[in-house]
């Protein structure tokens, strides 16, 4: 049917994007200064040792060749071997990805829920104290740096009130503060557009028409208006995903969680190419995937997108 044609087209479009993503991930690292082999061996290594190690990791080959062999390995699920840990990257990532995923998802759930509710309330009570309060708190969370907010929350709820564990991972309670840090920081990005979109939609003729039928106002908002703001809000969600992941990298380090974030930071410092590449690739691909999902969800929500076969 029409719907599947759209899905197929959209899938085809992601292929060049994925190729681009792998190319950029590869080049960023190989063109940046700093030699991992020298860092590993220290300043007193002989040129022979350096050359030998370089050959072992395939770093002496021309760039295009390195790229294609890397790509070939990825296709087989092999992200290479960490220079520093001397273990497969997939193994390192597997051990940590759950932590990062939990944090990112928990942060997203908090920010989207909180942001949507505040945005809708602000729109319904436009120019009231509630509306101003909503604007103010959004600006507040956006303006303070993530690591600082993390430390502040830690200090208040961990050290002073002792409601939650201070660091490390121990069950549900330890997820609260890190997730809240991300949630609060990101919430503003959903509350503001939600308010604006809602105000626009509430002015539409179909809202008045639905009310003229006698449909209760809360139902008009919950059904007619909400569904119409969902398309732009899902766009926002897909747009913010990379930032949420970046935020979780910072938060993870502050809370001393051994997730992908800490692994990434340490690997960058150590010039551990394969690990950095692997993680960047995973993040980039998850963003591409999220955008693909978002597009498919639009077409479920908005019948006009299915027909035109493209975005509005």
- Please, are residues 66 and 59 in contact by the beta-carbon 8 Å criterion? yes
Q: Is 126 in the site for another protein (CB under 8 A)?
A: yes
Q: Which is nearer to another protein, 105 or 300 (CB)?
A: 300
Q: Is 167 in the site for another protein (CB under 8 A)?
A: no
- Please, are residues 182 and 149 in contact by the beta-carbon 8 Å criterion? no
Determine the Cα–Cα distance for residues 111 and 14; give it in Å rounded to an integer: 28
DSSP state letters, 226-286: HHHHHHHHHHHHHHHHHHHHHHHHHHHHHTT--SHHHHHHHHHHTT-HHHHHHHHHHHHHH
Q: Alpha carbon 81 to chain centroid distance?
A: 25
Among 81, 82, 111, 228, binds another protein (CB under 8 A): 228
Q: Is 35 in the site for another protein (CB under 8 A)?
A: no
Among 28, 209, 256, 293, binds another protein (CB under 8 A): 209
Among 192, 195, 224, 271, binds another protein (CB under 8 A): 224
Q: Is 311 in the site for another protein (CB under 8 A)?
A: no
Determine the Cα–Cα distance for residues 111 and 214; give it in Å rounded to an integer: 34
In whole angstroms, how close is the CB of 139 to another protein at the nearest point? 25
Q: Is 304 in the site for another protein (CB under 8 A)?
A: yes
DSSP state letters, 199-234: HHHHTSHHHHHHHHTT--HHHIIIIIIHHHHHHHHH
In whole angstroms, how close is the CB of 131 to another protein at the nearest point? 13
Q: Which is nearer to another protein, 161 or 212 (CB)?
A: 212
Determine the Cα–Cα distance for residues 228 and 230; give it in Å rounded to an integer: 5
Residues 6+ apart with CB under 8 A from 29: 273, 276, 277
In whole angstroms, how close is the CB of 224 to another protein at the nearest point? 5
Which range of residues in 18-26, 132-140, 222-230, 270-278 is near another protein by CB under 8 A?
A: 222-230
In whole angstroms, how close is the CB of 206 to another protein at the nearest point? 4
Q: Which is nearer to another protein, 145 or 303 (CB)?
A: 303
CA 261, 263, 265 angle in degrees (round to 5)? 70
Question: What tokens were used for 38?
Answer: 């020298």
Q: Is 128 in the site for another protein (CB under 8 A)?
A: no
Which range of residues in 45-53, 105-113, 141-149, 211-219 is near another protein by CB under 8 A?
A: 211-219
SS3 164: coil
Q: Is 152 in the site for another protein (CB under 8 A)?
A: no
Which range of residues in 5-13, 86-94, 224-232, 248-256 is near another protein by CB under 8 A?
A: 224-232
Q: Is 1 in the site for another protein (CB under 8 A)?
A: no
Among 20, 145, 303, 309, binds another protein (CB under 8 A): 303
Among 307, 309, 310, 311, binds another protein (CB under 8 A): 307
Closest C-alpha among 186, 191, 179 to residue 257: 179
- Residue ranges binding another protein (CB under 8 A): 126, 204-206, 208-217, 224, 227-228, 301-304, 307
């Amino acid at each position: 049917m029409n719907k599947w044609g759209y899905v197929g087209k959209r899938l085809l479009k992601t292929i060049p994007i994925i190729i681009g993503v792998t190319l950029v991930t590869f080049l960023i690292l190989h063109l940046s200064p700093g030699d991992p082999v020298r860092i590993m061996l220290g300043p007193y290594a002989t040129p022979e040792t350096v050359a030998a190690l370089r050959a072992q990791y395939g770093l002496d080959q021309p760039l295009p060749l390195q790229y294609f062999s890397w790509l070939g390995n990825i296709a087989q699920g092999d992200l290479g071997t960490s220079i520093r840990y001397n273990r497969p990257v997939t193994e390192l990532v597997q051990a940590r990805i759950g932590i990062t995923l939990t944090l990112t998802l928990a942060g997203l759930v908090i920010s989207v829920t909180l942001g949507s509710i505040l945005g809708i309330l602000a729109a319904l009570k436009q120019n009231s104290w509630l509306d101003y309060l909503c604007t103010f708190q959004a600006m507040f969370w956006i303006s303070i740096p993530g690591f600082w907010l993390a430390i502040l929350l830690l200090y208040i709820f961990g050290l002073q009130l002792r409601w939650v564990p201070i660091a490390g991972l121990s069950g549900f309670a330890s997820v609260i503060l890190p997730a809240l840090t991300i949630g609060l920081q990101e919430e503003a990005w959903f509350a503001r557009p939600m308010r604006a979109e809602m105000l626009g939609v509430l002015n539409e003729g179909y809202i008045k028409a639905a009310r003229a039928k006698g449909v209760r106002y809360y139902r008009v908002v919950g059904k007619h208006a909400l569904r119409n703001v969902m398309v732009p809000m899902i766009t926002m969600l897909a747009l913010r995903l990379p930032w949420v992941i970046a935020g979780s990298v910072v938060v993870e380090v502050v809370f001393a969680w051994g997730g992908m974030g800490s692994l990434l930071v340490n690997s960058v410092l150590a010039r551990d190419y394969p690990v950095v590449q692997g993680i960047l690739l995973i993040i980039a691909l998850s963003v591409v995937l999220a955008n693909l999902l978002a597009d498919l969800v639009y077409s479920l929500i908005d019948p006009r997108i299915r027909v035109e076969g493209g975005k509005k």
